[in-house]
Structure 1
Amino acid sequence: MLNILMLHDDTTPPQQYLLQVIQNYTPEPVTSLTHATFVRKVSGQVLINAERWKQNRA
């Protein structure tokens, strides 16, 4: 199971969220790009890229 945290900040539109990846066994955020759908934000957060996720699921 993939653990994600829904984030919303001033840069995201009201109806959209950023999905931050959380580790499986601790409540800590993931810090490395271990999957093809993960991208790193300038702040260092590892997020899920929606376009890559859709391509990977097709």
Structure 2
Amino acid sequence: MADSQNPLQSDIGIHPISVRIPIAVKMTDIGRSKQCEFIGAGEIESIKVGRRDWCW
């Protein structure tokens, strides 16, 4: 079964190539504001799909 600490850990070893910002916050333990700062500075790549921002 997947580890409850990592919301993206898969039982079969498949990992996503991009994640939504709230998931990235959980994965990296970097706050949302800082994540958005990094995205604005171009240090984290992101795309917008509809209303949602995705980063990788």
Larger strand percent: 1
The answer to whether TM tops 0.5 is: no
Alignment TM-score, normalising by the size of structure 1? 0.27
Larger radius of gyration: 2
- Larger RCO (CA within 8 A; separation ≥ 6): 2
Larger helix percent: 2
Alignment TM-score, normalising by the size of structure 2? 0.28
